[in-house]
Chain A
Amino acid sequence: MTSVPKSGAGVIRPGFVWAAPAALFFLLFAIVPLLLVAVLSFTHWDGISEPRFNGLDNWTALVHDPVMIQSVWITLLLTVLGVATQTPVSILLGVWAAGHQRNRAVLSAIYFVPLLLSATAVSLVWRAVLDPNFGVPSQLTWLFGDGNLLGSQSGAIAVLTFVGVWQFTPLHALIYQGGARAIPQVLYQAAAIDGAGTVRQFFHITLPQLRNTVITSTVLMVAGGLTTFDTVLILTQGGPGTDTTVSAFHMYQKAFKSFDFGAGSAIALVLVVIATLISLAVVRLSGYDRMRGTTEGL
């Protein structure tokens, strides 16, 4: 925090040349593919023959596709559930892990293991653990009933949310750990002198100080939630029926199972638009774009 140039006269501003490499990469790997997808969404293309323009066919079909409309809601539901469950757990874990005690370091090292596992492995393991006949549910019938977890919509959504918590909490806890360690100790020392206990310190110092971290983490969770795919592919395959068919999975089915790349592209564009709008909203509503510091007055 010592050499950040303050804006004003006499400071050399980065010119266009400085931004060129990043802009070029962004153009090549984000904008160009996006435009191609936009063009594809107005074609019928099975991957074999030449793409054939079919006007608005894909789009009208999409508007009337009940699975598409349902998939948007399921995606949003899973995203909201993901943020609502992962945020409190990872804040508590992250703040706890920010302490410098050795047992905390050891335990957090163990706890961060899921971060190293691939989503495929995680999903396969949970699928086996939750098998209704040979997994945990068969031993805990008072809790799980007939164990038809992945065979009902509520059960399957609960499982997807739970596996999401298990899989992603470590990442966000790590972010919060970093955030919590950056909070100046003087604040706690002052609060302790004033007689504030741990709980009070948490709510009046830690949480407000973590505001920007919360936003970062939430944006990541929202982006992750909107593009949920691998766990759905392995745990539920969008089922039962289409009950957990999220938009990304619907797109995959259209493009790579039904070989209708035009329809798949249309879904992809809808996802891009929704994700962009939600990201903008989060940034605006949270005041993140104003980059307000949390160290004023220190």
Chain B
Amino acid sequence: MGSRFTAIAAATVLVLGMTAACGSGGSSSDAGSGTIRVMVYGDATNKVEKQIVETFNKTSKVKVVLDTVPGADYQQKLQTVINTPQAPDVFFNWGGGSIQPFVKADLLLPLDDFIAQDPGLKSNFLPSVFNSAVVDGKPYGVPMRGTQPVLLFHNKKVLADAGLTPPKTWDELVAAAKALKAKGVTPIALGGADRWPTLMWFEYLYDRIAGPGLFQRAVGGDQSAWAGEDSRRALSTLRELVDTGAFGSNFDSVKFTDGGSPALVAKGKAAFELMGSWYYSTQQDGNPEFAKSGLGYTGFPTVNGGKGDPADVVGNTNNFYSVVKKTKHPEAAAAFLKLMYSEEFVKAQLAVGNLPTTVNTGDFLDTSASPAYSKYQYELVKAAPSFQLSWDQAYPPSASTPLQTAVQQFFDGKLDADGFIKAMQALPGS
């Protein structure tokens, strides 16, 4: 009996203690002191975020408290908490469609006032990146991690053995695919079971053939954009590539996320893979020898007669910090955001392998973990006339499932061009 009582008492104390701890977070309201809570996606980069927060807290009266939320649950947690008293003051996001529902619900603070006070909050970032967190003409986010353009990676040895060079044009890619297939190598590795790797092929081909405008119109609500001639040409071009067997026949059983498709390239069973710039570190983790000497990378090939600039890129422009309208310390939040273009921030990001998108990043590229690769990406992104945010991030979250389903079904042959266009037109837009 005695021990049970102790246990109950202990539990009660614990619960009370936790409630008290939770309560203290949001209740301080006097200006000049208090805390702001910053919620970020939990992963290896948190090391940098912790360092920046420490730097900030050294001088600021208002202290930043960092909440790291384990990756897979991030969007769900954010959605649940954002309109409650427990909402963070500043939070990590992907820009574009990922914050659009919050803007619509009037929960976010437009950063115009911050930028008026410190123009550096805008001018210190690459415009193509900064713009992907602009919603309805107003800026809502400041870039806070690294940029991740999508590149065409290849296995140097497999190409050399087949007497091929990395393709600069689409026709060269198709020819290479046929030559490789004849040699019994899967030309292009694709983690089709994950679906979003398949989507990257659409993003680039639409850009190369129609230019960035088509998708911009479509995501802005002009459904007729999907039905145009350029859209059909992009789809038929893609269809041809799939039909030549460039991706093999079992790509829908393969995943990128469990290491399946990168292993195909690393072991020489496949030649190419279209993937975000994180591919380099994926290979470094799984196949360090191959990453060091065997892994090549280029931009996406040009398409003959296409309207898109061959220098355009697609991918994740960056991650962003956005500020919640209800924050009690907007000036502290602004001061915190300024650190995102500081020298310390840039160096710390480069050290963990991320490529920040401040205009001064170029000065520090030699300190990066892999300077040549960082320089290549930085020049690519800096020179890109358009940096299209991944489609599934550009649309609001509600569109992501139908979008990815349609993409997979088109590759499977279950949807033809008409079916795909119809599915795109039915996506819930802005």
Contacts and interface: CB of A to CB of B under 8 A. Distances in A.
Interface of A: 46-49, 124, 127-128, 130-134, 146-152, 155, 236-237, 239-242, 253, 256-260
Contacts of B102: 48
B252 A240 contact: yes
Given A132-B254, A239-B408, A242-B405, A148 B101 contact: no
A258 to B, nearest CB: 4
A123 B380 CA distance: 40
B400 interface: yes
9 nearest CB pairs, A to B: A151-B252, A148-B250, A258-B398, A151-B253, A241-B409, A132-B250, A150-B253, A132-B253, A146-B250
Interface string B230-252: 00000000000000000011111
- Which interface residue of A48, A132, A146, A150 has the most chain B CB atoms within 10 A? A48
Contacts of B157: none
- Which interface residue of B107, B252, B269, B400 has the most chain A CB atoms within 10 A? B252
A47 to B, nearest CB: 5
B250 A151 contact: yes
Given A151-B192, A241-B414, A48 B83 contact: yes
Interface stretch (B121-129, B221-229, B256-264, B304-312): B256-264
A147 B253 contact: yes
Interface stretch (B53-61, B74-82, B111-119): B74-82
A147 B252 CA distance: 10
Given A48-B83, A134-B263, A259 B398 contact: yes
- Which interface residue of A147, A149, A239 has the most chain B CB atoms within 10 A? A239
A133 B254 contact: yes
A124 B258 CA distance: 9
A133 B101 contact: no
A239 B405 CA distance: 8
A67 B400 CA distance: 15
Contacts of A48: 79, 82-83, 101-102, 105, 107
Nearest to A254: B401
Q: How large is the interface on B (under 10, 10 to 19, 20 to 34, 35 or more residues)?
A: 35 or more
A215 B253 CA distance: 37
B253 to A, nearest CB: 4
- Which interface residue of A47, A124, A130, A146 has the most chain B CB atoms within 10 A? A47
Nearest to A257: B401
B105 A49 contact: yes
B154 interface: no
B84 to A, nearest CB: 10
A124 B255 CA distance: 12
A127 B250 contact: no
Contacts of A150: 193, 252-253
A248 B107 CA distance: 31
B67 interface: no
A102 to B, nearest CB: 40
Nearest to A128: B258
A47 B251 CA distance: 35
Contacts of B428: 258
B353 interface: no
- Which interface residue of A147, A148, A149, A260 has the most chain B CB atoms within 10 A? A148
Contacts of B254: 131-133
15 contacts: A46-B105, A48-B83, A48-B102, A48-B105, A132-B250, A133-B264, A146-B250, A147-B250, A148-B252, A151-B252, A239-B252, A239-B405, A258-B397, A258-B399, A259-B101
B416 interface: no
A127 B263 CA distance: 15
Contacts of B80: 47
B100 to A, nearest CB: 11
Given A124-B258, A241-B412, 11 more contacts: A46-B398, A48-B102, A48-B107, A127-B255, A127-B258, A132-B250, A133-B260, A146-B249, A240-B408, A241-B405, A259-B398
A51 B83 CA distance: 13
B37 interface: no
A257 B408 CA distance: 17
B195 interface: yes
A256 B253 CA distance: 24
A135 to B, nearest CB: 9
Contacts of B105: 46, 48-49
- Which interface residue of A128, A130, A147, A242 has the most chain B CB atoms within 10 A? A242
Contact of A253 (B83, B193, B401, B409): B401
Contacts of B397: 257-259
A151 B251 contact: yes
Contacts of B192: 151, 240
B25 to A, nearest CB: 21
Nearest to B406: A241
Nearest to A260: B398
Nearest to B186: A133
A130 B255 CA distance: 12
A46 B104 CA distance: 12
A243 to B, nearest CB: 8
A260 to B, nearest CB: 6
A236 to B, nearest CB: 8
Contacts of A46: 79, 101, 105, 398
Contact of A241 (B251, B258, B408): B408
A49 B253 contact: no
A133 B249 CA distance: 11
A257 B253 contact: no
Contacts of B76: 256
A239 B193 contact: yes
Interface string B123-145: 00000000000000000000000
Contacts of A133: 250, 254, 260, 263-264, 269
Nearest to A243: B414
A49 B398 CA distance: 15
